Structure 1
Amino acid sequence: MSKDPKEKAAGPSPFPRGIFSAGVALQLLALFCLWISGRIPLSPDEYSICSKSGSIYTVDETNPQVECISIRGSRISYTESFQELQERTRRKNPASRLQNWLMSRFFGSPIRISYIASDAIVVPGLADAHAHIMNNGFKMQLNLDSCKSLADVIDGVKAYIQSHPDIHNNSSRWIQGGGWDQTKWLEKRFPTAADFDADPLLEGRPIALQRVDGHASWVSNRVLQIIGNLPADVEGGSIIRDSSGAPTGVFLDNAMSLIPAPEWTDEQMAVFFDTTMKVALSYGLTSIHDAGSSPMMIQFMKSHAETGKIPMRLYVMGHVSSDEYWGSQIPRLVNYGKHRRLTIRSVKLVADGALGSWGAALLEPYSDKPDASGIMRSTPKAISDLVNQFWKDGWQVNIHCIGDRANHVVLDIFEDLLKVGNANITEWRPRIEHAQIMTAEDLERTGRLGIIASVQPTHATSDMWYAETRLGPNRIEGAYAYRTLLNGSQKHILPLGSDFPVEGVNPLLGFYAAVSRLSVDGTSPHGGEGWYSSEALTRAQVLKGMTLDAAYASFTEHEIGSLTPGKKADFVVLDRNIMRVPMEEILGTKVVVTVVDGKVAYGAMP
């Protein structure tokens, strides 16, 4: 049995066996003595949850699977067997019988015990180590993920307009959404502004739709008119043009900043935020690493934290699209707010674009587009200057890197700082977000330097249908190499996320993708064994990546990430055992209850 070292041991009762006849006054005195000795559960703040099959997975290597966990207030007090729980709460000596009698008389039971179903399990609260909270809520207003063709997208936009009379009757209202992916279409081409104007309902309206990866925007001719004169080139971005040099309506990476879309209001942000929080809790998430929030978004979250409106732990990376140092524009907050759930101690930089839009920066040209090698969003010097300044000011630095060139440049910068700047890797914990395509040498270097690779397993299974076409048979061997990254890690960690809304919010999508390397329908370019299955992870590795590894990447491994006495009582009950069920049953798993700080945040206790 593991015990919270902070908890006081129960002292012996001062009352003899015959005290029951002494009256209520002495009973109350005894009750007081029990209370100060720490033996009375502060109902409803003390309870236990048990699995008769021992299916509580703690992700604590000293006690990996237990039958019961006990919670006092917001923390885990014990992890133990059911027998140990009984012995602790129903001691056989006379004094303990008195304690139990008194607690039963005044509280109904010495301790409340909930039993999960025989095929259910308990796991630590799940974390998403890379996601976009506000953007997810924004995308939900017009979500185009399911569109299989250009015509589907047009139909989706029309349906949105027709279902919103205020927009239907006002052709000047901006229409925004996201999720389109030309790699899923029969056309396999970027869309154009003319595609909007071909439909009478859409013609003349300002429309801006983000690609699924957030690295490209497709706009209507009305938006092009609003923008007016465009620059010939955009550093770190691209304006797609036709053979005559005219803009087609697609803007990549830094060029997206030219689109004058309306800023979000506080009311809109409240809707976006609350929408994402509710969905995330329903899927068992208790912690999210928000990968790039603007000062405006951060101010909103800060206000929400102060009023107790943040229902889970948020580890927010500040972000400003500038090569000039912007550290003073974001506050440094740790365990901030009424419930101490908001932390801002890291920043997000962006080195390159995305593979799907040919924006990932490669060392050699794309195999399917020999005239392109991707986009570096900033120069190596600009990135280096920012990294060095943020490090000096005590910020964790997390950098988006997709292509092998971007990863190589950033690893060079980190390595120089570790050597010349004498940075302490454990104190600094720099991260490469995505670490998607690397040379064999850089895969090894990532681990040797102690850099944290933060990856998203569903990217592999979403991109596998076109990734090898983009990269060719040699480079693909260093892509989505999750097992290689984990095996090479100094700390043997690999924090896992989703990058939602690029992928779905449900963390079990990532769990399934990581262990199977298959799409949700059980297929892959390599058949039923999975796409490059040698890079698949074990279920235990994935669970750790979604809990303790993510906690380490956010400096919270001593507070969350495992069901360990003394840590925060964040946990999830799932209705089936994802650690043992057949692979194809993982995605059918439902969340029974999500608990944050010992309190139910979604669902109901068994």
Structure 2
Amino acid sequence: DWGAYEQWNAGTAGTTDSPTSMSGTTDGPFTPSRDAIDAATREHPVFVNRFDRSMYLANSLALKLAGIDHATPNPDGGEIVRDRDGYATGILKGTAADLVRKVIPPISFEQRLAQVRAVLREAREGGVTTMQDLTSGDQLRAYQELYERGELTSRIMLRPTLDQVAHTAPLGLTKGFGGDWLKFIGYKAWVDGIMGSSGAMFFRPYDHDAKNKGQLRPIMRPEAEDGAADAMQEGDHYTSIPPGNLETLLTQAVATGLTPHVHAIGDKGTRIILDVFERVLTEQKLLGSDHRWRVIHAQVVHPSDFPRFGTLGLVAEVNPYHVSDDMRWMEERIGADRAKGAYAFRTLKDNGAVLIFGSDSPGTNAARYFLNPMYGLYAAVTRQTLKGAPVGGWFPDQRLTIEEAIEAYTKGPAWASFEEDRKGMLKAGYLADIAVFDANLIELGRTRPSGLLEARVLYTITGGRVVFER
């Protein structure tokens, strides 16, 4: 992806007096061309997109495989962008991108196994013994194959997307289905976009983009009243209208016992999922029960909504390294006032949310996130960039202690997955999943947090077996 950060500290980037377009023009934002990548990709077809999917870039080999040349007409609803001599620049818009998509071969099973092996290697080198995955059928088959071969070195908690509930429910898949190595724990869904693409939904427009309040994700549609989410103001609640698609799917999921884990990032996005959760929990007589439903990210929360996490008994699954990465540009996008409610780990915890940490690896179209939990521990206790800025931390009142941060990586996730009787602690009878570091993490977190970034794993032990030794 490209373009997610082009409005951050942009200077002259994207202005008409700056030659930002590689096609030789000076209009609009940065636009690459195949000439920029052909020399490095002669033997490999390449097809990438701008972060907002408004345009795509294909290298010369990809264009050749798709049969696109100077004589290829624009398809209905699409454009093959050309230079002044009529040759394709590699930029494809609308349905023109489908010309390349249809010749992309499916990922082979062996390639998928190789991909999973690479992730498992990164996990064990970082001391990670359990991962949660956004799971497709093809991915699950790869996990099963590696399990049969004895190659799984991390336990995989499985999360199909919520729109699969109509298929999974008739199969009888329910909470905890599977074993200690491969287990279904929930359904994944989304309310809004992400901060990196300015797609997270807010009540007020972005400071750097006065016409933008974020984007609703497809799984939310159809809404009971089209445009209801976009029209919401700070005093509004999404449940003032009848249930839409997401709420219908959540109701279907209740019978399976698999808990919903729903992505919500902006203050409006978070309000929407809190409203929807509250109505479904109430109607299904689950409010006050041990349901362990999750809000994923909860990156920016309206001040009036923090207490609802405790009242509704919700888990906040957050990714602490986001604060170290995003703080560099958050205030430029939403201003200092709204940023006070951003990545508010302390406020979430103090308001009764069960705080659990993850990596969000491999990342988004705006950033790379690593599996190694040292990045998250450092971010949670310092609220600084990897270079130590700002001194004292960004909104330092939201820092956690190192003990709280470690618990959010261990005991908390085990509880959230209904595995507190066998995981998350070093205790007789529990699974022997252990990471041994070359430093005292608690001491570092208390006295020299920057040292957490230097800590290295000596041993990773999963199920009593040493799967990594430095």
TM-score range, shorter chain: 0.7 to 0.9
Question: Secondary structure of 1:556's partner?
Answer: coil
Select which of 499, 517, 520 maps to 2:383.
517
**1:127-142 mapped onto 2 (5 Å cutoff):** none
Question: Secondary structure of 2:252's partner?
Answer: helix
Select which of 328, 344, 347 maps to 2:184.
344
Aligned pair in 2 of structure 1 residues 217, 308: CA closer, same or farther (>3 Å)? farther
Contact 1:284 1:591 in 2 (8 A): yes
| Alpha-carbon distance in structure 1 between the residues aligned to 2:272 and 2:404 | 29
Contact 2:48 2:58 in 1 (8 A): no
Contact 1:569 1:595 in 2 (8 A): yes
TM-score by length of 2: 0.76
Pairwise CA distance, 1:348: 0.5
Higher relative contact order (CA 8 A, sep 6+): 1
| Alpha-carbon distance in structure 1 between the residues aligned to 2:125 and 2:145 | 24
Determine if the alignment matches structure 1 residue 396 to structure 2 residue 259: yes
| Alpha-carbon distance in structure 2 between the residues aligned to 1:425 and 1:262 | 49
Contact 1:443 1:478 in 2 (8 A): no
Q: Which residue does the alignment assign to 1:23?
A: none
Contact 1:208 1:220 in 2 (8 A): yes
Contact 2:324 2:384 in 1 (8 A): yes
Question: Secondary structure of 2:435's partner?
Answer: strand
**1:148-547 mapped onto 2 (5 Å cutoff):** 182=6, 183=8, 194-198=32-36, 201=39, 206-209=45-48, 219-221=56-58, 229=75, 259-260=101-102, 261-290=104-133, 292-319=134-161, 325-328=166-169, 332=173, 334=176, 336=178, 340-377=180-217, 378-379=220-221, 380=223, 381-423=244-286, 426-489=289-352, 493-502=354-363, 503-523=369-389, 527-547=390-410
Question: Which amino acid letter does the alignment assign opposite residue 571 of structure 1?
Answer: I
How many residues end up aligned between the 2 structures? 400
Question: Secondary structure of 2:184's partner?
Answer: strand
Deviations 1:347-382 (A, max 9, x none): 101111111111111122111101111110123511
Provide the identity percentage: 27
| Alpha-carbon distance in structure 2 between the residues aligned to 1:309 and 1:437 | 39
| Alpha-carbon distance in structure 1 between the residues aligned to 2:144 and 2:10 | 41
| Alpha-carbon distance in structure 1 between the residues aligned to 2:201 and 2:31 | 26
Question: Which amino acid letter does the alignment assign opposite residue 201 of structure 2?
Answer: A
Deviations 1:118-152 (A, max 9, x none): xxxxxxxxxxxxxxxxxxxxxxxxxx9xxxx99xx
Unaligned runs of 5+ in 1: 1-143, 151-179, 233-246
Determine if the alignment matches structure 1 residue 566 to structure 2 residue 409: no
| Alpha-carbon distance in structure 2 between the residues aligned to 1:269 and 1:329 | 28
Deviations 1:414-466 (A, max 9, x none): 00012121125654311111111110111221222111110011111111111
Deviations 1:223-274 (A, max 9, x none): 7995964759xxxxxxxxxxxxxx96689xxx99x95544321111111100
Which range is displaced more, 532-541 or 342-351?
A: 342-351
Q: Which residue does the alignment assign to 2:235?
A: none
Question: Secondary structure of 2:33's partner?
Answer: helix
Question: Secondary structure of 1:374's partner?
Answer: coil
Question: Secondary structure of 1:514's partner?
Answer: helix
Contact 1:215 1:354 in 2 (8 A): no
TM-score by length of 1: 0.60
Which range is displaced more, 271-280 or 379-388?
A: 379-388
Aligned pair in 2 of structure 1 residues 263, 342: CA closer, same or farther (>3 Å)? same
| Alpha-carbon distance in structure 2 between the residues aligned to 1:250 and 1:357 | 18
Q: Which residue does the alignment assign to 1:114?
A: none
Unaligned runs of 5+ in 2: 15-27, 69-73, 79-89, 224-243, 364-368
Pairwise CA distance, 1:564: 1.6
Contact 1:573 1:593 in 2 (8 A): yes
Which range is displaced more, 547-556 or 323-332?
A: 323-332
Question: Which amino acid letter does the alignment assign opposite residue 245 of structure 2?
Answer: A
Aligned pair in 2 of structure 1 residues 330, 459: CA closer, same or farther (>3 Å)? farther
Contact 1:323 1:382 in 2 (8 A): no
Aligned pair in 2 of structure 1 residues 265, 375: CA closer, same or farther (>3 Å)? same
Aligned pair in 2 of structure 1 residues 323, 224: CA closer, same or farther (>3 Å)? farther
Aligned pair in 2 of structure 1 residues 470, 571: CA closer, same or farther (>3 Å)? same
| Alpha-carbon distance in structure 2 between the residues aligned to 1:202 and 1:444 | 52
Aligned pair in 2 of structure 1 residues 264, 217: CA closer, same or farther (>3 Å)? farther
Question: Which amino acid letter does the alignment assign opposite residue 495 of structure 1?
Answer: I
Question: Secondary structure of 2:301's partner?
Answer: coil
| Alpha-carbon distance in structure 2 between the residues aligned to 1:224 and 1:433 | 39
| Alpha-carbon distance in structure 1 between the residues aligned to 2:373 and 2:428 | 25
Pairwise CA distance, 1:309: 2.8
* Cα RMSD for the two superposed structures: 3.4
Contact 2:172 2:256 in 1 (8 A): no
Aligned pair in 2 of structure 1 residues 507, 329: CA closer, same or farther (>3 Å)? farther
